Amino acid sequence: MERRTFLKNSGLVAGGLVLSNNLIAANLVPNPIKIAVIGCGDRGTGIMHILNGLPDMFRITAICDVLDFRLAAAQKLSKNGVLKAYADYRKLLDDKDVDAVIVAVPLNLHYPIATDVIKSGRHLYLEKTMTYNIEQALDLVKLMDGRSKQVLQVGHQYRYSPLYYRVKEMVNKGFLGKVTQVDCRWDRNGDWRRPVPNASLERAINWRMYKEYSGGLMAELLSHQIDFINWIFDTHPQEFFATGGIDVFKDGRETYDNVQVMMRYPDLGLIGNFGAMCGNAHDGYLFKIKGTLGTVSLLTDQGMFFPEKKLLKEKGTIDGVTGATRIMWNKEGGTPILPEPTKDGTWYAFKDFYAKVQAKELPDSNVFTGARTAISVHLANQSLYERKISTWDKSYML
């Protein structure tokens, strides 16, 4: 998996974004992709809002959800009249007016629905984390083998931002020196619950709280940062050390509300610290990549570079980090990586999905990278819930 992924993703610039912009500039944009949304919860409807802002690229033709009130709410987002609505995704896949499918359902349903979408021949945007477990991840890789004209993109949307491409380039060009640690958090102060109109719908709506359906905070939040580190270094963790518990909300949930995982990447001499909690929101989203020459500190839409003092002493200014001829340092000694905040990562991700469908090319976030991250998340949760050190097995390499 590593070599195949590396060969297909060795470029440092957002080629798909450039391609889609060039198509538009040249007035060569084909008809919009007819796309369906399976799963009309917060994420599915959030994506619908994004697609409504890209009318030259996508036209939503159908929606699917097992909950009637979610279908009704999603209908109100239509920009093209009444959408075809389905309670059974299999009937949606019989609809000939669908070119591509978005799957934004509970994690335990990713694999069976994705499998059916792939077998139907449609292009697929599959929300993160790609699969619920390791076996499913490896099976999807096998299923996509030989389907080079069919696009499967995994929804790790944040790294489609120009900011994250720029950070990848900075690391690969050595601006940070030797990177030996990353510190990642995604914290909130709240119970993470959704309102339930009927007690019988508790698990259908609050599926993130239950192990049968969910990978908890590791899969829903920290998978983004795990995926970026895997991608930026074209690697994966080998060892997983974790602890956590239900420490704040004693409300019958099964997935932990307080987790901390340390991952070891021995091939790089790198340690990754990944934590999330529901009891304090001070840090929010925190992502720091630390090297011998400097540190990158990232939010989802903006980032700063902080050089080590020895680098400033040696070079004074650092050409090429921001592209500016004169670097402006803030009061903490950092400089912005990009001149202004980026858009929502989902916007960039779907522009790239459109470009890759048109070109029939492998996305940067694909079945191989998706499997690598899904396996990492599963092993982290294994360590977390089974209270043991987990290790990456060589049999996971394809």
Q: Do 207 and 252 reside in the same domain of the chain?
A: yes
Q: Are 221 and 187 in contact (CB under 8 A)?
A: no
398 pLDDT higher than 80: no
Q: Is the residue at 393 inside a domain? A: no
Report residue 315's pLDDT band, with 50, 70 and 90 as the boundaries: low
The CATH number of whichever domain residue 337 belongs to comes to: 3.30.360.10
Which residues, other chains included, contact 102 with Cβ-Cβ below 8 Å and sequence gap of 6+?
A: 35, 36, 37, 38, 39, 44, 47, 125, 127
**Range in 25-39, 114-128, 244-258 the model is least confident about:** 25-39
pLDDT at 95 > cutoff 70: yes
Given this model, what pLDDT does residue 327 score? 44
d(CA 337, CA 339): 7
Domain annotation covers residue 308:
yes
What CA–CA distance (Å, rounded) separates 341 from 307?
21
Return d(Cα 245, Cα 272) in angstroms, integer. Answer: 20
Mean pLDDT value of segment 139-150: 97
Is the same domain home to 234 and 258? yes
In a shared domain, residues 120 and 222: no
Give tens-digit pLDDT for 250-307.
Answer: 999 999 999 999 999 999 999 999 999 999 999 999 999 999 999 999 999 999 999 9
Residue 114 buriedness (CB in 10 A; 0-12 / 13-18 / 19+): buried
Report whether pLDDT(128) > 80.
yes
Mark whether 298 and 351 lie in a shared domain. Answer: no
Q: Which domain holds residue 128?
A: 2-159+346-366
Burial 166-193 (b: 16+ CB within 10 A, else e): bbbebbeeebbbebeebbbbbbbeeebe
Residue 34, domain CATH: 3.40.50.720
Determine the pLDDT at residue 276: 98
Q: Is the pLDDT of residue 346 over 80?
A: yes
Question: Given this model, what pLDDT does residue 208 score?
Answer: 97
The arithmetic mean of pLDDT across residues 32-42, rounded, is: 97
Residues 116 and 174 placed together within one structural domain of the fold: no
Residue 392 located in a structural domain = no
Q: Is the pLDDT of residue 43 over 60?
A: yes
Say what percent of the chain tops pLDDT 70.
87
What is the average per-residue pLDDT within 209-237? Answer: 97
- The pLDDT of residue 330 is 61
- pTM for the structure as a whole: 0.89
Please say if the pLDDT value at position 80 is more than 90.
no
What is the predicted pLDDT for the residue at 108? 98
Residue 249 burial (CB count, 10 A): 16
What the block records as the tokens of 381 is 């949760």
| pLDDT (average), residues 383-387 | 98
Average pLDDT, rounded, for the chain: 90
* Within a domain: 397: no
The answer as to whether 225 is a domain residue is yes
Asked whether the predicted pLDDT for residue 328 surpasses 70, the reply is no
In-domain check, residue 126: yes
Give the model's confidence band at 5: pLDDT under 50 very low, under 70 low, under 90 confident, else very high.
Answer: very low
Assess whether 218 and 332 both reside in one domain: yes
Number of domains in the chain: 2
Within this chain, do residues 236 and 273 fall inside the same structural domain, yes or no? yes
**Per-residue pLDDT, 333:** 72
Q: Are residues 319 and 172 in the same domain?
A: yes
Token pair belonging to 253? 């949930």
- In a domain, residue 55? The reply is yes
pLDDT confidence band for 26 (50 / 70 / 90): very low
Q: Are residues 155 and 165 in the same domain?
A: no
Indicate the length of the chain as a whole number: 398
Provide the pLDDT for residue 81.
Answer: 85
Q: Do both 360 and 284 map to the same domain?
A: no
Q: Are 268 and 119 members of one domain?
A: no
Confidence band, pLDDT 50/70/90 cuts, at residue 331: low
pLDDT band at 140 (very low <50, low <70, confident <90, very high): very high
Instruction: For residues 88-114, give the mean pLDDT.
Output: 98
- Does residue 289 sit in the same domain as residue 356? no
Residue 398 lies in a domain: no
Q: In what order do the strands lie in the sheet with 123-127?
A: 84-86, 58-64, 33-38, 100-103, 123-127, 152-155
The fraction of the chain above a pLDDT of 90, given in percent, is: 84
- Contact call for residues 272 and 306 (beta carbons, < 8 A): no
What are residue 263's DSSP bridge partners?
Answer: 240, 272
